[in-house]
Homo-oligomer: A and B are copies of this chain.
Amino acid sequence: MVIEIKELIERNKLLELCEYLQELNSVDVANQLMDLEDEELVLVFRVLPKDIAAEVFSYLDKDSQQHIVESITDREVTQIVDKLFLDDTVDFIEELPANVVKKVIRNTSPQKRELINQFLQYAQYSAGSIMTIEFVDLKAYMTVKEAINHTRKTGTTKETLETCFIIDQARHLLGSVTLKDLILSEDDMIIEDIMDTNLISVQTSVDQEEVAHLFKAYDLVTMPVVDKENRLVGMITIDDVVDIIEQENTEDFQKMAAMAPNEEPYLKTPVLSLAKHRIIWLLVLMISATVTGRIIQGFEEVIQSVVILASFIPMLMDTGGNAGSQSSTLIIRGLALGEITTHDYLKVMFKELRVGSVVAIVLSVVNFLRIYFIEHVEFMVGITVCASLFFTVILAKVVGSILPIIAKKLKFDPAIMASPLITTIVDAFALIVYFMLARTLLGI
């Protein structure tokens, strides 16, 4: 499709281009625009019909948005910003360098400017920063007919009409009705009698992760946002929550692989920035591995007498690490989804103890059969290896399951207690057990 656009540009068929773009979904237009060269991008963006330009703009990435704002006239900027929903405007302003922000703010109505400034004060990732203020508010004493008329009058500029909120004179939140309720009710019914007063709402300062939790727990589609005095200030819609859920998941994946979280898409992140996000944890974990090194040094004489023992170290360490990270992953995920709470720690430990025992027995027996019958190691060496494996797996399961819960209890993110850290801890334990058992069982 990009080829078609390029061809129409080259042949200077701008009217055809305009018609062609009009038939596409705004998301697709945005995707294709981002594949163009910078000059073409601005050219095509200017060709876009005015009514879809703002929508397409909201789907562009930061770089393209910035390039367009820098290249077009002040009047054109005003036209776009006027048509953008406030939350989209704020989203893109937050990402821009100061000089471009100035150009945008300069070309915004004083009223909208004030709103933007207010929005920029909400903490990042708070309910306030993700809410929209384009919603319909109704009064409790209205009839359904009045409410529908009011909606018709004020609704055109609103992001969604699916839910309307009912407020009193002082803007305190009283209840909600869906557009469906309005349509399905008799004209002369009073809003107060049909509104839903059993509302789940959040304050502006609540973290977006908590917002996503509430949406999932209560199957919500919209949620009102209130200030400390329960006055309605905005509304959060589920399409933004979907983005938050993916963002939070990405963050968990990154933390669990020992990286500093980073929101930017991989291919757009500069090499040094990627390196920076990874190096700290790698350094910390590398230096903690000093401990395992010291343990091996402390048991040097064991390795020297029975060198074959060294060859089972990787298997022991890896299996312990894998067993532990299975448990920690399940618990971290359970905590994130709210399926497990910190109160369940005893249940979890006991469960992992049992799961760990089953897994440990199977692994130890299979391993013994393999190294005794296939690799022909001495009987007592085989026993040493498999007994160590047995204890390591059980401990790895218990440690892997309990550390995320402890982290959560201490208000850390459980996701840091994942594979890399668990592996380092389990390694040390595995080696101590291994060498102690070797000393005892092999009489070194």
Residues of A within 8 A of B (CB): 23-25, 27, 148, 151-152, 155-156, 160-162, 179-180, 183-184, 198, 200, 215-221, 238-239, 241-243, 245-246, 249-250, 252-254, 256-259, 265-267, 271-272, 274-275, 278-279, 281-283, 285-287, 289-290, 292-294, 296-297, 300, 303-304, 307-308, 310-315, 317-319, 321-323, 325-326, 328-334, 337, 339-340, 344, 347-348, 351, 354-355, 358-359, 362-363, 366-367, 370, 375, 393, 419-420, 423-424, 427, 431
Contact call A311/B286, Cβ cutoff below 8 A? no
Contact call B245/A242, Cβ cutoff below 8 A? yes
Residue in B238, B256, B340 whose beta carbon sits within 8 Å of that of A221 in the complex: B238
User: Within 8 Å CB of A259, what residues of B?
Assistant: 326, 329-330
Contact call B24/A198, Cβ cutoff below 8 A? yes
A179-B179, A319-B285, A370-B290 given; A326·B249 CB < 8 A: no
Contact call B326/A278, Cβ cutoff below 8 A? yes
Complex alpha-carbon distance, A290 and B385, angstroms? 13
A161-B180, A180-B161, A329-B253 given; A370·B287 CB < 8 A: yes
Instruction: Return A320 CB to nearest CB of chain B, in Å.
Output: 10
User: Within 8 Å CB of A219, what residues of B?
Assistant: 27, 239
Contact call A296/B318, Cβ cutoff below 8 A? no
Contact call A151/B250, Cβ cutoff below 8 A? no
Residue in B24, B250, B303, B322 whose beta carbon sits within 8 Å of that of A285 in the complex: B322
Contact call B314/A256, Cβ cutoff below 8 A? no
Complex alpha-carbon distance, A275 and B354, angstroms? 9
A245-B242, A297-B308, A318-B427 given; A271·B325 CB < 8 A: no
A266-B331, A290-B315 given; A271·B351 CB < 8 A: yes
User: Within 8 Å CB of A239, what residues of B?
Assistant: 219-221, 238
Complex alpha-carbon distance, A311 and B249, angstroms? 37
Contact call A254/B330, Cβ cutoff below 8 A? yes
Instruction: Return A358 CB to nearest CB of chain B, in Å.
Output: 4
**10 contacts across the A-B interface (CB closer than 8 A):** A27-B218, A155-B184, A161-B183, A179-B179, A250-B333, A253-B256, A266-B334, A296-B314, A303-B310, A314-B317
Closest partner residue, chain B, to A58 (CB atom): B219
